[in-house]
Amino acid sequence: MIDLAEVEKERLLDEWFALDEVPRGKLHLKLEWLTLTPHAARLDQVLTDIRADKDQANDGLSSSLLILYLDSARNLPSGKKVDSSPSPLVQMSVGHKAQESKIRYKTNEPVWEENFTFFIHNPKCQDLEVEVRDEQHQCCLGNLTIPLSRLLASDDMTMNQRFQLSNSGPNSSLKMKVALRILHLEKQERSPDHQHSAQVKRPSVSKGGRKVSVRSQVSVPPGAGDSSPAPPTPVLGGGAKPSVEDRAQPAEASPQGPRDLGRSASSLHGSTSGSPSHIFSKEPTPSIASDISLPIATQELRQRLRQLENGTTLGQSPLGQIQLTIRHSSQRNKLVVVVHACRNLIAFSEDGSDPYVRMYLLPDKRRSGRRKTHVSKKTLNPVFDQSFEFSVSLPDVQRRTLDVAVKNSGGFLSKDKGLLGKVLVALASEELAKGWTQWYDLTEDGTRPHVMT
């Protein structure tokens, strides 16, 4: 049993592992910890590495991951009975793999808001097949086919639009966001004398009628314990189910889809759990890098405000504003926050600022509870349009506060790294299920926010 934390650290393990509880015997494994990249130029090399065959697009190891966010449908036909509303569901398939959405009962305009992932062998030769079906009458309400090669040619390998349905009503459409990411092995530079120590989990042993798990860390150099060198062995295709995180989404959703995923056989599905080693890790601690735990950031911002004022009267929003959409999805039991844009931020240098937005759902201040946008370079009016989610029920979220901070990016110990402004949004609102979009004033500590509708 091999600890996946070691695979994540080393990125590539290709060696013979000694078998436990037998006098002798070894198993040759090649393990790769892969990351997701939106660069189609890397695909050809990956296809070569996994020996992809044009005539066998549905078999073998995977070269990429397809992330699908199923949003909603409009103007669906009524199915077999003209005077009744359908109960639609969506069936999606790529090759031999198929997945299905939940059923939305008695509606022509269903909303799903569901994420799906597919491991793809060769996106140049495979298609995404989508069919909307009426569960009640067992009939097709419309379908469409998306060649994955279209995603390879799309910006950021992503399509986010309403797709017109075939064999359906004249204005029937399906809204989806589909992203393709190449599974890429980022090899780490190692010194010639580098030796890793693969962490092995020993099988459970019986002790007093109970099973006790014993873990030890052993050094496993290639061919260890064998006087003769290990013969070269071809690498076999996937046999282990990787644990992944659908952080992202789609990648950040973008659908915030998974961040790091293992290359699997084509029949495997992704999940959103971390590696098993995380079970033994300590409870996540608050992020010490956050300005929540660094009050000096607020003090520095107040000092910067005084410098900006310099005898003049600042406007109503001296630190600028941020536009947010906030709503709670009862179907998914999640708080959804869309960070749209900021305007009139203060400048950290002559080139402006490099702003990004980070969020916590207080009182949770753990690093695992943090959400961050990308960095927008050299601008005081950044546009993000990124969506984030927090798993929380409606009664619970109405007792929470959303902590939003706009920060200036910079290198480690950079003098230009700091806080640009904050806003604290109390979520005790009856309108949370319906949602709202508003501009919020940024302040030094997030209090006294002035809302502009």
- Measured CA to CA, the distance from residue 356 to residue 326 in angstroms comes to 18
pLDDT beyond 50 at 357 = yes
Position with higher pLDDT, 305 vs 217: 305
Position with higher pLDDT, 256 vs 435: 435
Q: Which value, to the nearest 10 degrees, does the dihedral of the CA atoms of residues 303, 304, 305, 306 take?
A: 50
Residue 419 near residue 348 (C-beta atoms within 8 A): no
Section 184-195 average pLDDT: 68
**Residues 277, 116, 107: CA angle, nearest 5 degrees:** 140
Residue 321 near residue 442 (C-beta atoms within 8 A): yes
Q: Report pLDDT for 205.
A: 40
Section 37-46 average pLDDT: 89
pLDDT band at 101 (very low <50, low <70, confident <90, very high): very high
- Minimum mean pLDDT range among 167-176, 200-209, 264-273, 300-309: 264-273
Say which amino acid occupies 315: G
Section 388-401 average pLDDT: 90
Residue 182 near residue 37 (C-beta atoms within 8 A): yes
- Measured CA to CA, the distance from residue 75 to residue 49 in angstroms comes to 45
Q: What is the pLDDT of residues 402-453, one digit of tens each?
A: 999 999 886 544 445 678 889 999 998 878 888 899 999 998 887 764 444 4
Q: Give 355-411 as a DSSP string.
A: EEEEEEEET--BGGG-EE-----S-SS-EEEEEEEEE--HHHHTT-EEEEEEEE--S
Position with higher pLDDT, 285 vs 362: 362
Q: Report pLDDT for 73.
A: 94
The stretches of 205-274 forming alpha helices (DSSP H) are none
Section 41-67 average pLDDT: 82
Beta pairing partners, 159: 178
Tell me the two tokens of residue 36. 């997701």
Say which amino acid occupies 53: D
Position with higher pLDDT, 352 vs 118: 118
Question: What SS3 state is found at 58?
Answer: coil
Q: Report pLDDT for 270.
A: 35
Question: What SS3 state is found at 100?
Answer: strand
Q: Report pLDDT for 117.
A: 94
pLDDT band at 240 (very low <50, low <70, confident <90, very high): very low
**If we measure between CA atoms, which residue out of 263, 205, 231 comes closest to residue 35?**
263
Q: Report pLDDT for 187.
A: 72
Number of neighbouring beta carbons within 10 Å of residue 353 = 27
- Measured CA to CA, the distance from residue 347 to residue 416 in angstroms comes to 10
- Minimum mean pLDDT range among 9-13, 87-91, 106-110, 116-120: 9-13
Residue 185 near residue 10 (C-beta atoms within 8 A): no
Q: Report pLDDT for 112.
A: 92
Residue with tokens 């995180």: 245
Q: Report pLDDT for 64.
A: 93
End-to-end Cα, the chain, rounded Å: 57
- Where residue 106 falls (left for φ over 0; alpha for ψ -120 to 50; beta otherwise) is left
CA count, 13 A, side-chain hemisphere, 149: 6
Residue 453 near residue 328 (C-beta atoms within 8 A): no
Q: For the chain, give the percent of residues with pLDDT over 70.
A: 66
pLDDT band at 306 (very low <50, low <70, confident <90, very high): low
pTM for the full predicted model: 0.46
Strands 173-184 and 64-74: antiparallel
Q: What is the pLDDT of residues 112-158, one digit of tens each?
A: 999 999 999 999 989 999 999 998 788 999 999 999 999 999 999 99
Question: What SS3 state is found at 413?
Answer: coil
Question: What SS3 state is found at 107?
Answer: coil
Q: Report pLDDT for 137.
A: 81
- Measured CA to CA, the distance from residue 27 to residue 6 in angstroms comes to 18
Q: Give 313-366 as a DSSP string.
A: PP-S-TT-EEEEEEEEETTTTEEEEEEEEEESPPPSBTTB--EEEEEEEET--B
- Measured CA to CA, the distance from residue 22 to residue 52 in angstroms comes to 37
Q: What is the pLDDT of residues 264-298, one digit of tens each?
A: 433 333 333 333 333 333 334 444 344 433 454 55
- Minimum mean pLDDT range among 33-42, 87-96, 131-140, 183-192: 183-192
Q: Give 151-200 as a DSSP string.
A: HHTSGGGEEEEEEEPBSS-TT-EEEEEEEEEEEE--PPP--TT-----EE
Residue ranges and CATH numbers for the domains of the chain are: 1-32 (no CATH), 64-185 (2.60.40.150), 288-442 (2.60.40.150)
Tell me the two tokens of residue 369. 């509870």
**If we measure between CA atoms, which residue out of 140, 152, 121, 130 comes closest to residue 58?**
121
Q: Report pLDDT for 192.
A: 60
pLDDT beyond 70 at 105 = yes
Section 189-210 average pLDDT: 50
pLDDT beyond 60 at 227 = no
